[in-house]
Amino acid sequence: MESRNKELKEKYWSANTSVEEEKILKNQNNNEDLSDIEAKYFNYLKKESEVNPDIKFSYPAKRVKFPFRWAAASIAVLIAISGYLFQYSYDQNEFEVNDPELAYAITKNALFTISSGMNKGEVYTDKLVKFDDAKLKVRN
């Protein structure tokens, strides 16, 4: 029995034992004198295997997935807007006038259009003046 015990210990320390042989070795060491360093080691392993730790494991938080569809859509919208604005800036050059006489004629025409609209408004203000005159007569 003693030779079997030594043989199992040698196999154990060379990492060649099976699970059944390790169980036999640990059980035999429980009955032996604790002065043997190996017996102390096996007793320590047995005590540690019986301890239930009070550690609670938590799963890591879920990773927030980046919304690639929204990102792609927003990039497409930004590209479309910048393309429109880029084209719009070139369209503005269509109305550029380099000839001073043509610029004068265009400005004169625009001012005439505005003044004709103001003349129509003057007709309505004449009616308001007549209304104010009537209001003053009633008060006096």
DSSP symbols for 10-34: HHHHTT---HHHHHHHHHHHHHS-T
Q: Answer whether residue 94 shows pLDDT above 50.
A: yes
Average pLDDT over all residues of the chain? 77
Q: What is the pLDDT of residue 29?
A: 61
Q: What is the pLDDT of residue 101?
A: 93
pLDDT in tens, 27-36: 776 555 445 7
